[in-house]
């Protein structure tokens, strides 16, 4: 799991760009009446975004079809959003095409961090759109806060710690069934750790990691057998650990596959399967 870079342009300019491309006369007429209002609301969003206090936002009570028109400005496949997605997922080392909410599935949608059903005015605010997969988007849905307490990581603003907090227990030395869990062993800020915990539980990440673990176990075993030696020499193990270290550097120190591989590398019963 890694943080995303966020849109660094003027958010309201993005709004006007998307709005200008719409051809629906009814939609354009309705929104034209509230454009200055939206500009103020965008400024308020940006101020809360900068302070990482989006949980304190209060919704604008629009009447009639205005909410629907605002929501209809959003279309994932539209050119402006394709361009935004490419910009947000392009890094110095390539494209970040895997959903960072879960690190399991490919990005195929945007999460409205502040739900558009509650805050239609922010349906196309570019700093309210986070690249994710449809599974995470569905699980998060509209349950984003309790009172003013945000329940999920905002990977634009909640800077992930460089300490390990994700661990795995190998439950069975024959089937290598596993269970993942969080533990604050290395002094992660308690508020941030609580938010991480809510995020993992809310998206069912422990169960989803475990469901995908068999494929990692089998693939890793094949990788180790490619050394064509038993037992593995200390040099070979050092090489494997270095490879896992590179994977963690690229995908995050708490990348679930790396955490699992390290646990397997320390498991005698697993290493005996190399024979």
User: What pLDDT, in 10s, does the model give residues 218-228?
Assistant: 999 999 999 99
* Rounded mean pLDDT, 200-204: 96
- pLDDT digits 0-9 by tens, 206-251: 999 999 999 999 999 999 999 998 899 999 999 999 999 999 999 9
Report the 10 Å Cβ neighbour count for 14: 21
Report the alpha-carbon distance of residue 128 to residue 119 in Å, rounded.
10
For the chain, percent of residues with pLDDT exceeding 90: 87
pLDDT value at residue 99: 96
Report the 10 Å Cβ neighbour count for 164: 17
Which of the four pLDDT bands, split at 50, 70 and 90, describes residue 275?
confident
pLDDT value at residue 109: 95
Q: Give the global pTM.
A: 0.90
Residue 21 backbone dihedrals phi, psi, to 5 degrees: -85, -10
Report the alpha-carbon distance of residue 220 to residue 256 in Å, rounded.
13
Residue 15 has pLDDT above 80, yes or no: yes
Report the alpha-carbon distance of residue 135 to residue 133 in Å, rounded.
5
- pLDDT digits 0-9 by tens, 146-182: 999 999 999 999 999 999 999 999 987 788 899 999 9
Residue 133 backbone dihedrals phi, psi, to 5 degrees: -100, 160
Q: For residues 92 and 38, which has the higher predicted lDDT (pLDDT)?
A: 38
Q: From residue 160, give the alpha-carbon distance in Å to each of 1, 101, 131.
A: 8, 12, 17
Residue 93 has pLDDT above 80, yes or no: no
Which of the four pLDDT bands, split at 50, 70 and 90, describes residue 95?
confident
Which residues are paired to 129 by β-bridges? Answer: 112
**CA torsion 72→98→177→187, rounded to 10°?**
-100
pLDDT value at residue 84: 95
Residue 184 has pLDDT above 90, yes or no: yes
pLDDT value at residue 18: 96
pLDDT value at residue 7: 94
pLDDT value at residue 75: 94
Q: Write a three-state SS string for 16-68.
A: HHHHHHCCCHHHHHHHHCCHHHHHHHHHHHHHHHHHCCHHHCCCCCCCCCHHH
- pLDDT digits 0-9 by tens, 42-85: 999 999 999 999 999 998 888 779 999 999 999 999 999 999 99
Alpha-helical runs (H) found in the chain: 11-21, 25-32, 35-51, 66-71, 79-89, 134-140, 190-202, 205-225, 234-251, 256-265, 268-272
Residue 150's nearest CA partner among 190, 194, 182 is 194
pLDDT value at residue 244: 97
């Amino acid at each position: 799991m890694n943080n995303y870079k966020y849109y660094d342009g003027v958010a309201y300019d993005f709004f006007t760009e998307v709005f200008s491309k719409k051809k629906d006369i009814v939609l354009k007429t309705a929104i034209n009446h509230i454009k200055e209002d939206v500009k103020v609301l965008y400024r308020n969003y940006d101020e809360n975004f900068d302070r990482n206090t989006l949980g304190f936002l209060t919704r604008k009570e629009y009447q009639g079809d205005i909410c629907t028109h605002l929501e209809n400005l959003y279309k994932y496949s539209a050119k402006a959003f394709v361009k935004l997605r490419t910009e947000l997922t392009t890094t110095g080392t390539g494209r970040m095409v895997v959903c960072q909410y879960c690190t399991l599935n490919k990005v195929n949608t945007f999460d409205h961090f502040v739900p558009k059903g509650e805050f239609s005015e922010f349906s196309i605010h570019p700093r309210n759109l986070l690249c994710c997969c449809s599974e995470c988007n569905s699980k998060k849905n509209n349950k984003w806060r309790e009172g003013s307490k945000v329940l999920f990581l905002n990977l634009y603003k909640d800077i992930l710690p460089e300490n390990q907090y994700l661990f795995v227990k190998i439950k069975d030395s024959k089937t290598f069934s596993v269970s993942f869990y969080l533990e604050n062993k290395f002094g992660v800020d308690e508020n941030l750790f609580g938010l991480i915990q809510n995020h993992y539980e809310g998206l069912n990440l422990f169960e989803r990691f475990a469901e995908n673990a068999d494929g990692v176990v089998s693939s890793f075993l094949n990788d180790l057998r490619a050394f064509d030696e038993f037992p593995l020499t200390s040099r070979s193990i050092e090489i494997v650990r270095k490879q896992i270290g590179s994977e963690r550097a690229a995908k995050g120190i708490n990348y679930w596959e790396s955490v699992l591989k390290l646990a397997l590398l320390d498991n005698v019963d697993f290493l005996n399967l190399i024979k």
